[in-house]
Structure 1
Amino acid sequence: MPSDGSRRGSDDVRTTGFGDLLRRHRREAGLSQEGLAELAGVSVDAIAALERGRRRAPRPHTLRLLGDALQLGAPDRAQLAAAARRDGDSPRSTLRPPPVPANQLIGRSTELTETGRLVGERVTRLLTLSGPGGVGKTQLALALAGGIGHKFEDGVCWVPLAPIADPAAVAPTVATATGLHPLDGARLVDEIAELVGRRKILLVLDNCEHVVADAAQVCGVLLESCPNLSILATSRELLRVPGESVYVVPPLALPELEQQPDASPAVRLFVDRATARGNAPREQIEQVARVVRRLEGMPLAIELAAARTNVLTVEELATELETSFGILAGGASTAGPRQQSLEGAIGWSYELLTAPERELFAELSVFVGGWTLNAAAAVLTGTTTPGPRERAETLDLISRLVDKSLIRVSRDGGIGRYDMLAVIREYAADRLAASGRAEEVARNHATFYLSLAEEAETNLRGANQGAWLDRLEGELDNLRAAMSWSLRTESSAEAIRLAGGLWLFCYLRGHYAEGGGWLERALALVDGEPELQAAKAKAELGAGMLAFLQCEYDVATARLESSLAQYKKLDDTAGTALVMQRLGGVARERGDYLTAENLHCQSYDLFESLGDRAGMAWAHNQLGFVAWLRGDLEIAARRCKRARDSFRTVGDGEGLAWSLISLGTIAQYGGKLVEAEELLQESLALSQRLGYREGVAWSLNQLGIVERRRGLTERAVHLLDESLAEHRDLGDRWRSASVLEELATVAQERKRTEYAAFLLGAADGIREVIGAPIPEIEKADRAATRRAIEETLDRRAFRAAWAAGRATPLSAVADGYPGPSAAPDRSTRL
């Protein structure tokens, strides 16, 4: 029978803690802590921590190593394991909780819903919130952790990585946040995994981009070892861990045109932060909308801008931001350097780039409105046609900058397109200027877009017209930048070639004034260089055409006649025929139908000599146009039908739209309103698809006349108002006058006689200024309208309304004629 002492010894072993038991066995084996550590293959600090109870008991693998080193038998091993289990049941370590947000999160309900589903429902075990500095990743992570934290039974652990500078400190920082006292640096990540075990924890790693490799290594090990662990990371760069899901945090939604500005989250954030500083912008919401649009909804930029309301009005702030983002500083004094200024936020990302990445990042700032891979490779290499190797190298660098949230990518139309936020682009442009290579890069940029413009020019007639128009429209900001560079540096060859290559695009897409301005400035740079004579002839043709479209007939005639002389000198038959066609258009609008017909016939003969079917079709269409303006509807129909059939064959969308407009107009003047509507609806749809604004404006004009002839005056007003707005925006005063006269007819039919007189006066004033008479075909309707007005109004009232119309600028005519008393409601002016 055992003694009492023996029973007490057994009880002592049964209740002894793991650390005490381990120490007893070590001493009985005659080993020091260093000796045991060496035999077991663990650190001395780990042995010391286990014996002193500063660490949780080890996992089974470590227990086996200790048992083998101590040469323990089965009973002693069982006792050691039991002690380890008892210690493992002790209270869990304390996790570092997320900080309490200083401000309410504004406008992120969609983001919270989407990320909450991914993490809270364990759709993914690692979610990285990515995006550029200042987009609000940390704030979203805080709100997300607060919203779904209850789904993690063992808690949420917040690990702030921004303060650490040494990547090797990532694992110790994670260990400390999880409540582990890190002692064994070699196995620290494994020890964290042992600590977490099967616990259901959400681990949040905030600001990983500067230590991305070490953060990724920690995440990889923990995800493999801890089956119930979920990780939420915020990083400007992806972690690239197997199983990682990425959520790109977007800027805040901007105010849409049809909504009240204060419904926008971006506006609400500005108002909230400005109000918190005692500067509530209650009466300046439209200016606030202007500010947040300029800042593209970036939360940090908005907060920094709101901070400036202590010294600037919102309107002053908006004006300052139009030229520079340099005033965006002055963040909270408790914030880190990255959050105290916009430059600091972007500079943090820039400093993490490699030298090749920095070089490309700076050079990409030359693009305005985005770029394609081919464009980037061309600017980087200084060639207009970069090869596969150059494209591959550029793609690799762009991919890295996309992954680091400095570049955005879109995939519309099956083509990858890249751009930068405006605030990031300004920082990149400063780096480019500092490098001393800004002019070289701008020249490369201009050279590439000159090549693109000249390639597009050859495709703006024919089956691919719409696609090339869209492509040039998508690159319009870059084309403007290239044009600006060539004019600023007085690079005459580049300027005249680029402006000349773009005039047809400017015509078709309605950039009359801008394209004309480019051509006139480029022509002023050319001083008789023989090698530029062909380019000058083309530029003068374009300048004349765009001046004609804006009813500057004298300027147009001078430019076109100069172009004609040069084409004849160059023995360029196609150019000569095209200029004659444009001169015929000027004569047509001035009412000189005989000269117009002669010019179009000469143009036809020249195109026929070249076998140019498209040119011949255009000559037929122009002759048909002159015929219906003159009132010869039968001849006009014959000519325009031939043109339509040819345009369908050659695939000329612009030509087809015009022939349909002419045929629809001929039908409506012939009383065939159903046929007219069908033809005009077809031309309208085609013009809208091409983005051909003149075609849209003319189609709406003639459809309005069709509806007026049917007696549907309300529908007519709607169509004619749209047409007038288009013609007015284009600068086409000749057609604007005709639309005003048609609106006068509708007004008279709706018993708005004074207003009808006002509109006729406005049209008459326009015709006098531009020197263009009423087309013959329109004279009968206009005369009938005037007679009806004069029969209704007394002479004095008629003269007053007429004079008021003549004195009113075209831009103000739509505001209506108030008459001698009070102005009518604009919505019912007709």
Structure 2
Amino acid sequence: MPSDGSRRGSDDVQGAGFGGLLRRHRREAGLSQEALAELAGLSVDAIAALERGRRRAPRAHTLRLLADALRLTEPDRLLFTAAARRESATPRLPLRQPPAPTNELIGRTTELNATTRLLRQRITRLLTLTGPGGVGKTRLTLAVAAEVTDSFQDGVCWVPLASLTDPATVVPAVAESIGMQPVESTRLVEEIAEQIGRSTMLLVFDNCSHVVAQVGQVCAALLEHCPNLSILVSSRELLRLPGESVYVVPALSLPYDEENLESSAAVRLFVERATARGYEPAGELDQVARVVRRLEGMPLAIELAAARTNAMTIAELAAELETSFGILAGGPPTASPRQQSMYGAIEWSHALLTPAERDMFTQLSVFVGGWTLGAAAAVLTGVETRVQALDLIGRLVDKSLVRVIRRGGVARYYMLVVIREFAADRLRAAGQTEATEERHARYYLSLAEEAEGQLRGPEQREWLDRLESEHANLRAAITWSLGTGSVAEALRLTGALWLFCNLRGHYAEGSTWLERALQLADLQPPERMNGLAPACAKANLGAGTLAFLQCEYDAATELLRTALKQYKELGDDAGTALVLQRLGGVARERGDYEAAEDLHCESYDLYESLGDRAGMAWAHNHLGFVAWLRGDLEVGARRCRRARDAFRVVGDGEGLAWSLISLGAIAQYSGELVEAEDLLQQSLALSQRLGYREGVAWSLNQLGIVERRRGLTERAVHLLDESLAEHRDLGDRWRSASVLEELAAVAQQRGRSDYAAFLLGAAHEVREVIRAPVPRIEQADFDATQAAVESSLERRAFRAAWAAGRAAPLVAVADGYPGPDAPADRTRDPF
């Protein structure tokens, strides 16, 4: 039975705090803090923190070490442990709470759902929200913290780091946020971990890009020692810790068409912020869409732009942004400098880069529309290998200055436009723009010339897609060559790309490129043109081909005849044969079938002498095309079958699509509608896979005729409307006229004679302008349609509709015929 003194001691102990009890036992054992720390295997700081109450919830392991070092009896151990439990059960010091948002969160439903699920379901214990400056990381972090509060019974603690300038202050800032009063200690991270202990809480680090290394060290230690802790981080740069889950915060959704502008989060944000400024833009959503598209949906940029509506119209704002992002400034004076302008936001990230990263960052601005790893390694200085380039680009990706898209097994990198402009300014300031642009242009010249040789073979689609993905860079390279008077590069680049422009439907742009390159060549002294005769011939061939495709027949003929003369002077039979083929196309569309056949036969003979199987296949295809257009279906079928079989062997997708189109047309004019549909569906699918727009347009045209012949007029209208839109966008007026005449036939079948007359008038106007007659194979259908329309309408009504069609812009024809008495701005449903 214990003595009265022992009993009195127990009562005293039960009323004491754990820190006081520890101090008493230490003194009774005759130990200093240093001696106890040595015996227990703990630090002196840890002993001091426990005695002073700075650490109030020691772990069980720590209690055992202390009890053993103090040689406590079993009753004293129980009392010692009970005191520690009472201490841990007392209310904790208050956690710093997340600040209250100052405005509504717009358009982040998907992001909220994805991030809160990760935290609520404990799928991850460390979640980093990353993205470039101005994308809205902090605002989304606040929303996430508010959403998941109920899932963390011990609370959410907010650790703001934006204002810190010294990395050494990170740990004290964490201690302060969790309610500790930190003192100088070498074990402050461990003390924080012991304070958190087994608490189920969320620790939120906001804006840690500039102290990311220190934050990473703290997070690693806390996650290791605090099993119920979860951490949410907002940072432009990743922590790169094991177990880190990364959520890249996207820009706000942009309007995908003009009919759904209000559904765009970017538009809604601009409208809300402009309205708050006293400017109501509801009636100018088309201009708002221009602004937010230019800003690529970046929230900070949108808010800064909306603030400018206090002094500008939205149309003026949109026009200003087309040339510069300099007006994206003037944020709230209470905001940090990086929140007061977009350049300030980017400068904050730029300042954190290493010299090598800065050099890479500025040079990458030379790329337009993105780049591949190979392009970066070839163009940029300061990197000698692809591995070096990959390492630096990867670091810029991790720091949210570069983004990556993975598609078709290829990683492609790009900068947001406003970031690229900032980097380009830095490149100019360093005096490196001219040299970097020259290396960029030479790389894309080599790419274009390599691709040129692959655009007729089995890898045609892959190379077309590659050139399409590099379209903006190719455009920039051509602009450089023309702007610097680099005539050789200009001719070689544009000449190498004309077939790409042909196949992907970039007729107008390709024509402009070639025209300017040829004009530049005309201005050069003869000595500068030495060795460039082949490039000039190819450029004339390409320019003539694209002019022909846009039905500029006179210009095409002049250019092609120039190319023909040049190729003959060079003794280049392959080039000569290709020019003859294009001249045959001009003659065919102008209705001179005999001349077209002669030209294609001459082309065939040259290809045969060269042993060029692909060229011979194309000659067969064109001869078959001429044959069925003039009504000789049997000869046309025989020629096109030979072409089809040859194209399959050589792997020419464009040629195969064309032979299938011709065979499908021959079948439908022969009344074999099932066979025609099968062939045309094959050509349509192949053309769509290739991205070959002319093939798509022709296939839809012929499928529309098939459906009209079957009496399925609604389906016919749909197909023909699609075909007309494609031909019109391409600039192919010859085929547009034929599609209009087919639509007229459908309109007449559906009892809309007035609209049919309107369409016939529109087609007549097109044919008169381009001076191309109705193809002979289509003449019978055309005559039948016109006769039916004329017999269905009074002469005055027919002439009025016909005249209205002739006067209507081609782009408006499909909208319908308003009638002779309707207001000029009103049309009615054509069908």
Q: Same fold (TM over 0.5)?
A: yes
Match in the other structure for 1:492: 487
Distance 2:45 2:647 in 1: 87
1:335 corresponds in structure 2 to 335
Q: What residue in structure 2 maps to residue 261 of structure 1?
A: 261
Q: Using the alignment, how far apart are the partners of 1:784 and 1:6 within structure 2?
A: 122
What is the alpha-carbon distance in structure 1 between the residues aligned to residue 320 and residue 274 of structure 2? 17
Q: Specify whether residues 74 and 770 from structure 1 end up closer, same or farther in structure 2 by C-alpha distance, changes over 3 A only.
A: same
Query: 1:509 pairs with 504, 507, 510, which one?
Result: 504
Describe how 1:461-610 pairs up with structure 2 within 5 A.
Answer: 461-526=456-521, 527=524, 528=526, 529-610=529-610
Contact 1:158 1:205 in 2 (8 A): yes
SS across alignment from 1:245 = strand
Q: Kindly, what percent of the aligned residue pairs are identical?
A: 72
Mark the CA change 1:26 to 1:691 in structure 2 (over 3 Å): closer, same or farther.
closer
Q: Is the alpha carbon distance of 1:644 and 1:35 closer, same or farther for their aligned partners in structure 2, counting shifts above 3 Å?
A: closer
CA–CA separation in structure 2 for the residues paired with 1:230 and 1:247 = 15
Partner of 2:397: 402
Equivalent residue of 1:639, what SS?
A: helix
Residue 604 to residue 14, structure 1, CA distance change in 2 (3 Å): closer
Match of 2:442 in 1: 447
The separation in 1 between residues aligned to 2:826 and 2:809, in whole angstroms, is 20
Would the alpha carbon gap of residues 181 and 40 (structure 1) be closer, same or farther in structure 2, given more than 3 Å must change?
A: farther
C-alpha distance 3-813 of structure 1, shift in aligned 2 (>3 A): closer
Q: Judging changes above 3 Å, is the alpha-carbon distance between structure 1 residues 61 and 515 closer, same or farther for their aligned structure 2 residues?
A: same
Q: What is the aligned partner in structure 1 of residue 422 from structure 2?
A: 427
Q: Quick check: 575-584 or 276-285, which moved more?
A: 276-285
2:606 and 2:236 map into 1 onto residues whose CA distance is 63
**CA deviation digits over 1:375-416, x for unaligned, max 9?**
11111149xxx9xx6100000001111111111111110111
Q: CA offsets, 1:738-794, max 9 Å, x none? A: 222222233333333333333222222222222222222222222233333333334
Deviations 1:303-343 (A, max 9, x none): 22222222222222222222222211222332222212111
Tell me which residue corresponds to 1:415: 410
1:638/1:73 CA distance change after superposition, 3 Å: closer
* Match of residue 209 from structure 2: 209
Q: Which residue of 2 aligns with 1:668?
A: 668
- Shift of the 808–89 alpha-carbon distance from structure 1 to 2, 3 Å rule, reads closer
Structure 1 residues 58 and 566: CA distance shift in structure 2, 3 A: same
1:582 maps to amino acid: R
Paired with 1:745 and 1:75, the residues of 2 have a C-alpha distance of: 105
Q: Distance in 2 between matches of 1:48 and 1:668?
A: 96
State the Cα distance separating 1:655 from its structure 2 match: 1.0
Going from structure 1 to structure 2, the CA distance change for 1:36 and 1:573 (only over 3 Å counts) comes to same
**1:545 Cα deviation after fit:** 0.6
The Cα shift of 1:183 comes to 2.0
- One-letter amino acid of the structure 1 residue matched with residue 702 of structure 2: Q
Decide whether aligned partners of structure 1 residues 38 and 593 sit closer, same or farther in structure 2, where only a CA change above 3 A counts.
same
Aligned to 2:283: 283
In structure 2, the CA distance between the partners of 1:46 and 1:548, relative to structure 1 (3 Å rule), is same
Alignment match, 1:355: 355
Whole-angstrom CA distance in 2 between matches of 1:712 and 1:32: 100
CA contact (8 A) 1:624 1:640 kept: yes
Aligned counterpart, 2:683:
683
Q: Which amino acid aligns with 2:164?
A: I
Residue in 2 that maps onto 1:778: 778
- TM-superposed deviation, 1:676: 2.0
Q: CA 1:227/1:560 → structure 2, altered by over 3 Å: closer, same or farther?
A: same
Partner Cα distance (2:101, 2:306) in 1:
19
| Counterpart Cα distance in 1 of 2:388 and 2:143 | 40
Q: Take 2:688 and 2:610, find their aligned partners in 1: how far apart are those partners?
A: 32
Measured in 1, the distance between the counterparts of 2:760 and 2:679 equals: 29
The CA deviation at 1:52 is 4.6
1:728 alignment partner AA: R
Match of 1:729 in 2: 729
Q: CA deviation at 1:706?
A: 2.1
Q: What is the rounded CA distance, in whole Å, between the counterparts of 2:237 and 2:188 in structure 1?
A: 25
Give the secondary-structure state (helix, strand or coil) at the position aligned to 1:791. helix
1:234-253 CA-partner distances (Å, limit 9, x unpaired): 11111122211111111222
**Partner letter of residue 466 of structure 1?**
R
Tell me, yes or no, if the aligned pair for 1:737 and 1:767 is still in contact at 8 Å. Answer: yes
- SS of the residue aligned with 1:329? coil
Partner of 1:114: 114
Q: Secondary structure at the match of 2:238?
A: coil
CA contact (8 A) 2:684 2:700 kept: yes
Instruction: Give the deviation of 1:84 after TM superposition.
Output: 4.5
Q: Distance in 2 between matches of 1:325 and 1:402?
A: 22
Q: 1:743-754 to 2 correspondence within 5 Å?
A: 743-754=743-754
What is the CA-CA distance between 1:542 and the residue it aligns to? Answer: 0.4
**Cα distance 1:7–1:461, how it changes in 2: closer, same or farther (>3 A)?**
closer
User: What's the counterpart of residue 829 of structure 2?
Assistant: 828
Conservation of the 8 A alpha-carbon contact between 2:630 and 2:776: yes
For 2:186, what is the secondary structure of its paired residue? Answer: helix
Q: Does 1:756 align with 2:756?
A: yes
Residue 233 (structure 1) aligns with: 233
CA displacement 1:330-386 (0-9 Å, x = unmatched): 22332222212111111111111111111111111111111111011111149xxx9
TM-score (normalised: structure 2): 0.94
Conserved? CA contact 2:130–2:234, under 8 Å: yes
Provide Cα deviations, 1:140-188, integer angstroms capped at 9, x if missing partner.
Answer: 2211111111121111111111111111111111111111121242100
**Is 1:195 matched with 2:195?**
yes
> Matched residues in 1 for 2:514 and 2:423: separation?
31
Distance 2:13 2:660 in 1: 103
Distance 2:559 2:454 in 1: 25
Specify whether residues 16 and 788 from structure 1 end up closer, same or farther in structure 2 by C-alpha distance, changes over 3 A only.
Answer: closer
Is the Cα–Cα contact under 8 Å of residues 157 and 204 in structure 2 kept in the other structure? Answer: yes
Q: In the alignment, which residue of structure 1 is the partner of 2:306?
A: 306
Shift of the 664–15 alpha-carbon distance from structure 1 to 2, 3 Å rule, reads: closer
Amino acid at match of 2:337: P
Higher deviation after alignment, 520-529 or 3-12: 3-12
State the partner residue of 2:161: 161
Take 1:730 and 1:5, find their aligned partners in 2: how far apart are those partners? Answer: 104
Q: Does structure 1 residue 638 correspond to structure 2 residue 633? A: no
Question: Across the two proteins, how many residue pairs are aligned to each other?
Answer: 825
- Do the aligned partners of residues 609 and 180 (structure 1) sit closer, same or farther apart at CA in structure 2, a change above 3 Å counting? same
Shift of 1:567: 0.9
- For the residues of structure 2 that align with 1:770 and 1:35, how far apart are their CA atoms? 103
1:673 shift after superposition: 2.2
The CA deviation at 1:254 is: 1.9
- Preserved contact between residue 744 and residue 785 of structure 2 (Cα < 8 Å): yes
Output the CA distance in 2 between the equivalents of 1:820 and 1:59: 92
Q: Could you tell me which runs of 5 or more consecutive residues in structure 1 were left unpaired when the two chains were aligned.
A: none
What is the TM-score with the length of structure 1 in the denominator?
Answer: 0.94
**CA distance in structure 1 between the partners assigned to 2:273 and 2:104 by the alignment:** 10
Letter in 1 for 2:474: L
Other-structure match for 1:178 = 178
Q: Which amino acid aligns with 1:496?
A: L
Check the 8 A contact 2:252/2:299 in 1, yes or no.
yes
- Which 5+ residue runs of structure 2 have no aligned equivalent? none
Cα deviations by residue, 1:176-209 (Å, 9 ceiling, x for unpaired): 1111121242100110111111111111111121
Alpha carbons 1:45, 1:183 under 8 Å: kept: no
Residues 816 and 829, structure 2, Cα contact 8 Å, conserved in 1 = no
Deviates further, 8-17 or 262-271: 8-17
Q: Which stretch has the larger CA shift, 49-58 or 558-567?
A: 49-58
Q: Say if 1:687 and 1:81 are closer, same or farther in 2 by CA, change over 3 A.
A: closer
